[in-house]
Amino acid sequence: MNRMIPTIIRLNARALLLAVALITIAGSAFSIQAQVTVVSAASFANDKIVAPNSIASAFGTFNTQGNQVYIASSVPLPTTLGGVRVRIGNTDAGLFFVAPSQINFLIPAELADTATATITVTNANNTTSTGTFTIVRSAPGIFSARATGLGTAAAQTTFDGAVYQNTFKADGSENEISAGTKDRPNILVLYTTGIRNTPAASPNDGNGVAEAVTVRIQGVPATVLFAGPAPGLEGTDQINAIIPPELSGLGSVNIRIRANNRDSNIVTMRIGGQIPAARARDIVFGQTVNDALTVDDQVQAGTSGNTFFFDAFKFTTTTANTPIAVDLRSVAFDAAVLLYRLEGDQLSLIAADDESGSYGSSVSANNHNAMLLTVIQNPGNYAIFVTSSDFEPNGIGNYSVQLINPTMTQISYGQTVNGTITATDLQNSLGIPYDLYWFNGVQGDRQSIRMASTAFDSFLILLKNEGDPYLVSDDNGGGGSDALIDPTHGDDGSPNRSPLPRLPQTGIYVIVATPFEANKTGNYTLTLNKLAGLNGEPETLSSWDRFFRAPGREIRSVRTGTVDSGKSSVERFGTRRIVQ
């Protein structure tokens, strides 16, 4: 199964040469113009970059004999067709197809890389037109079923190298295929151009340049078995890759290849079958698991064509209001922990975190570890997903995860408690100790939380019970070294800057009481009060305002990108397609 040479839709090699290489004018998005524009005949990328011995398309206004369309009928390819000749510099190019507005030709194999290759088209009436383009060693493009560089891949799959299934239907739409299994893999055969010259460590080892080419299906790396010229097909390359079995049931997925640090166009195929059942190992309170996310792990699908590897662990609680902490650490990827309630075979996301393990006393100290702090209200079965954050699809590498049953004291309005920070308290990955409290709040409540200590500089964080981001924090709002969270003191400790004038919902809230410095211990008092109504409504800050109005100590790094950081982790991670 190292190399598979299929026949597409019962065509022989010569017919396939024409079927793959002849891109119809109707499929082109390029306008007809006097100057010649050269693009990959597979991707139609407008960067005008092609590779030697690849198939290219030239667009412009051409004159053929009788203004007719001419198709090559033999190999080697003719250098004059329909009275038209194409030269790249001083070298003739083989012609697949010529028409009044499009020519498909083979970039001569002997050409060197250059940023300003010149194409000269000599028409049947002896007029000429020219243009320039770029030649590089490899410029990957994937042929699509509709010959536009978009939509369904012009590809096949095979389990045994003898029987093949097209990924496309006769109308160019997606044909449902199987993802196969680990024991019986299904091989995807892609037809491409522009990859055969990719620099590879072992180009003569029988698998072509496979080690230098990457195939990603819905973002998941697929093992490449072969990448190189498709025998008998001028300028056409072939890639054989194993479809990741974990993609079963995901439906329409994106395919992209990368060679020589260049990405191809994106094509699609449809993967049918059943979504695999989530495989979860047992974990108990107090246990630490050291493992790694790998490309062979289970997969969650996001909403933007991306995917995320995950490992799953299951545990059981037997009492109501069980506090837990899930401490997930990794230097290899941006860690995220998701907590699901398991009822039968249904998973319901109830909490998630990808930042709370990173809170440090300065921005430079922050990392990308996670620590989920929550109170599980109902006894039952639960599953922890170890995965990467929305900022890092398909994150892989080593990690450690610990399930903890921390001391988390219930506190009520009007109550003051005396606490002590000790060296044995729960600590995050930066060595910052946490004392934890929880209370029941009602939507619209105005609350005041004060932490006072003469042993250290107090710091308070208020979280919803579903994980990060934190609702509000305070360093010195209580004056001196005291921390205060209330409707008139907010993130930066100044009056009338509260981002949380009222509790946003009814339910459990978690208070983190900490010196927010490593190696600090000592006594403190914590008071929770419910406030009566105030005159006027204090100013409310947006989520992004909270990021930039730093408290006395910055407790989160500002991250930018396409992910909406203003949403809670549950809102963001809840959009992932859950593997059940």
Residue 16 CA to residue 8 CA, distance in Å, equals: 7
CA 163, chain centre distance (Å): 33
- pLDDT tens digit sequence for 450-489: 999 999 989 999 999 999 888 888 887 888 889 998 875 5
Mean pLDDT, residues 33-39: 82
CB 60 within 8 A of CB 37: yes
The C-alpha angle 117, 77, 15, rounded to 5 degrees, equals 120
Lowest-confidence pick of 316-330, 346-360, 525-539, 551-565: 551-565
For tokens 């000790």, what's the residue? 422
Tallying the residues shown for the chain, one arrives at: 580
For tokens 């105030």, what's the residue? 534
CB 362 within 8 A of CB 373: no
What global pTM score does this model have? 0.75
- pLDDT tens digit sequence for 350-401: 999 988 887 755 555 667 899 999 999 999 999 999 999 988 999 999 999 9
Dihedral sign for Cα 399, 400, 404, 406, please. negative
Mean pLDDT, residues 173-182: 94
For residue 301, give the 3-state DSSP assignment: strand
Confidence at residue 474, expressed as pLDDT on a 0 to 100 scale: 85
Residues 6+ apart with CB under 8 A from 51: 107, 135, 136, 137, 138, 139, 193, 194, 195, 196, 197
For residue 364, give the 3-state DSSP assignment: helix
Residue 557 CA to residue 74 CA, distance in Å, equals: 63
